Amino acid sequence: MAASDARLVERLPHDRSGEELRELYRRYSGELFGFACNALSDRELAEEVVQDVFARLWRHADDYDPGKASVRTWLYAIARNRIVDARRRAAARPGLAQPEAEEPVEELDRELEQAVLRWQVAAALARLSPDHREVIRLSHWGGLSLREIAERKGIPLGTAKSRAYYALQSLRLILDEMEVER
């Protein structure tokens, strides 16, 4: 059975081979990177944020208290701080436009929350089968009715209807698994 996140963090201070860290990296690097990319619109800066998050994770593993927050929440909190730092550095770079005033913390947090949500929805959609993804794409963004989708794809209307239902149901399940409400 796979070790829990908290157990992996607990073992980190004694992890000589890097296997515990590798496992945590594989569990979270994708979403942290997606989050950072969404928040910073810069892949290189997002890579740095991911590196810094994991460096902080292993250096402060002793400080982690599973009673206070999940590992995921903790990692996002670290990433959030790194993203704020990265934005401030970018804003202070000569030659770049200076913001009128520093963004209020609440607004920044709201924006970062949206960045997480965007990554989660995109990642959930990416996990659907191609057929399911396509029926959602064509109906939701393409504005096509299921009848038009059936005609375009050369499939029976009943198939288009059941695909639409199962696509939505799968998406809802994946989002629930990611703890995305609404």
Partner 1 sequence: MSGCRTHGALLGGYVLGALEPAEMEAMRRHLDTCAQCAREERKLSGVPSLLDRIEPGDVPPPEPPPELEEIVLDRFIRDREAPPQRRALGRRRAPVLAAAAGIAAALLVALVVLLTGQEEDTAYASADLRGSGVAADTRAKAWLTNVDAGTHVSLEARRLPGARGDLFELWCIRTDGRWISGGTFMAGPNGRAAAELTAAVAPGDYHKIVVTHVDAGAPAGTRGTRVLDGKLKY
Give the residue carrying structure tokens 């059975």: 1
Instruction: Count residues near partner 1 (CB under 8 A).
Output: 61
- In angstroms, give the least distance from the CB of 176 to partner 1: 9
Contact 119, 35 (CB under 8 A): yes
43-72 binders of partner 1 (CB under 8 A):
43-44, 46-48, 50-51, 54-55, 58-59
Q: Is 165 in the site for partner 1 (CB under 8 A)?
A: yes
- Write 114-118 long-range contacts (CB < 8 A, 24+): 115/35, 115/38, 115/39, 116/31, 116/35, 116/38, 116/76, 117/180, 118/38
Check binding of 84 to partner 1 (CB under 8 A): no
Q: Is 145 in the site for partner 1 (CB under 8 A)?
A: yes
Spatial separation of the C-alpha atoms in residues 150 and 154, rounded to whole Å: 6
Which distant-in-sequence residues (6+ apart) come within 8 Å of 52 by Cβ?
78, 82
Binding residues vs partner 1 (CB under 8 A) = 15-16, 18, 21-22, 25-26, 29-30, 33-34, 37, 43-44, 46-48, 50-51, 54-55, 58-59, 89, 114, 117-119, 121-123, 125-126, 133, 136-137, 139-141, 144-147, 149, 158, 160-169, 171-172, 175, 180-182
